[in-house]
């Protein structure tokens, strides 16, 4: 990098606000967010988000591409060259976590654009965005941790757990951890249920957080609850539907399906004190 380009980059870094840096941290951890998701989580209006994102794109803090998989054709955002300067050790391949590090931000973007998991990533991230947006207007609530699949997999590697996401949610003086399995009904029910075995191993020595099986339809929800009926699980298992707000009474416990529960009402045991499981020592604050 030439000296003049380095000076330009340093000047651009000085222009980044705390909100900009939070967005870049999310994109480093979670690969991709849509314009709508960024607006929901961080801005007072779509216009203010659009203006700031245009600035961040112009200084190459973020890269963007058009989402052609849905009808709205909105922009999807990832880290740009400046963003990768801020986060040089970012996750870089949603399909192959062990792949070599990309040489350029363009190569990283290409991997995300071409990922078979793109829709899954956006769906997974939406649950956390919904919680962050909720906390912006409900000051007794707070998303205290938001970990990606790669982050959670590394933290709980000893048990072989591979959740799509992991979070810690506080509301009404309760703090509940959870593991998310975002389901698009592309896998047989048996494959989904087989994922619970690793959570059983984790429960032997780690936290007993509810496993959230979030599915696209009431029919899929009913089939999962039927399959889980009478089956003991070491972790609480709750089933919910994509289009219901995750903070609200959207969750049906497999062990007690008679009542829908709010997220903060789900049973949760933080387990022994350790770097991976202690929610008070290893909190990652999310400033909505």
**Residue 43 per-residue DSSP state:** -
Give residue-wise pLDDT tens across range 25-58.
999 999 999 999 999 999 999 999 999 999 999 9
User: For strand 33-34 and strand 251-253, is the pairing parallel, antiparallel, or unpaired?
Assistant: unpaired
- Please say which residue of 69, 95, 116 terminates a domain: 116
**pTM score over 0.85:** yes
Please check whether residues 138 and 46 belong to one and the same domain: no
**φ, ψ at 207 (rounded to 5°):** -70, 150
Q: Which domain holds residue 101?
A: 3-116
Please check whether residues 155 and 258 belong to one and the same domain: yes
Please check whether residues 170 and 234 belong to one and the same domain: yes
Please check whether residues 174 and 44 belong to one and the same domain: no
Integer angstrom CA distances of residue 93 from 12, 24, 68, 265: 26, 16, 20, 35
Integer angstrom CA distances of residue 153 from 9, 70, 133, 158: 33, 29, 26, 9
Whether 41 is in a domain gets the answer yes
Give residue-wise pLDDT tens across range 236-267.
999 999 999 999 999 999 999 989 999 999 99
Whether 274 is in a domain gets the answer no
- Token pair, residue 266, equals 């789900």
Please check whether residues 106 and 198 belong to one and the same domain: no
Please check whether residues 111 and 126 belong to one and the same domain: no
Taking phi first (over 0 means left), then psi (-120 to 50 degrees means alpha), and beta for anything else, what does residue 204 get?
alpha
Per-residue model confidence (pLDDT) at position 223 = 95
Please check whether residues 206 and 110 belong to one and the same domain: no
Whether 287 is in a domain gets the answer no
pLDDT at 283 over 70: no
Distance between CA atoms of residues 100 and 17, nearest Å? 31
Whether 281 is in a domain gets the answer no
- Token pair, residue 159, equals 């048990």
Q: What is the CA radius of gyration of the chain?
A: 19
Give the DSSP letter string of 62-129: EEEEE--SSTT--EEEEE-HHHHHH-TT----SS-TTSPPPSSHHHHHHHHHT-TTHHHHHHHHHHHH
- Please say which residue of 116, 135, 152 terminates a domain: 116
Q: Which of 32-36, 93-97, 128-132 has the lowest mean pLDDT?
A: 93-97
Whether 150 is in a domain gets the answer yes
Please check whether residues 67 and 135 belong to one and the same domain: no
Please check whether residues 126 and 250 belong to one and the same domain: yes
- Token pair, residue 230, equals 């009478």
Please check whether residues 18 and 61 belong to one and the same domain: yes
Q: How confident is the model at residue 287 (pLDDT cuts 50, 70, 90)?
A: very low
Whether 171 is in a domain gets the answer yes
CATH number of 106's domain = 1.10.10.10
Distance between CA atoms of residues 169 and 159, nearest Å? 22
How many structural domains is the chain composed of?
Answer: 2
Per-residue model confidence (pLDDT) at position 3 = 75
Please check whether residues 149 and 251 belong to one and the same domain: yes
Whether 278 is in a domain gets the answer no
- Please say which residue of 116, 133, 162 terminates a domain: 116
Please check whether residues 81 and 158 belong to one and the same domain: no
Whether 288 is in a domain gets the answer no
């Amino acid at each position: 990098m030439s000296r003049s380009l380095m000076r330009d980059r340093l000047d651009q870094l000085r222009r980044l606000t705390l909100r900009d840096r939070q967005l870049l941290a999310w994109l480093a951890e979670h690969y991709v967010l849509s314009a709508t998701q960024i607006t929901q989580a961080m801005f007072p209006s779509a216009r203010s988000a659009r203006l700031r994102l245009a600035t961040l794109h112009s200084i190459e803090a973020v890269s963007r591409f058009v989402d052609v998989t849905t009808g709205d054709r909105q922009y999807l955002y990832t880290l740009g060259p400046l963003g990768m300067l801020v986060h040089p050790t970012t996750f870089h391949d949603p399909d192959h976590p062990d792949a070599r590090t990309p040489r350029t931000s363009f190569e990283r973007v290409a991997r995300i654009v071409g990922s078979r998991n793109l829709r899954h990533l956006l769906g997974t991230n939406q649950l956390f965005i919904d919680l962050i947006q909720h906390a912006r207007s409900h000051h007794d609530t707070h998303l205290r941790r938001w970990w990606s699949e790669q982050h959670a997999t590394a933290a709980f590697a000893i048990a072989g757990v591979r959740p799509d996401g992991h979070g810690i949610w506080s509301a009404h003086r309760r703090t509940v951890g959870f593991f998310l399995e975002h389901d698009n009904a592309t896998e047989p029910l048996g494959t989904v249920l087989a994922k619970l075995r690793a959570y059983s191993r984790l429960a032997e020595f780690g936290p007993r957080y509810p496993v959230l099986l979030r599915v696209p339809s009431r029919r899929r929800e009913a089939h999962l609850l039927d399959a889980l009926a009478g089956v003991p699980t070491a972790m609480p298992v709750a089933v919910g539907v994509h289009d219901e707000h995750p903070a609200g009474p959207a969750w049906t416990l497999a062990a007690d399906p008679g009542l829908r529960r709010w997220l903060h009402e789900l049973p949760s045991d933080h387990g022994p004190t350790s770097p991976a499981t202690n929610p008070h020592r290893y909190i990652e604050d999310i400033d909505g």
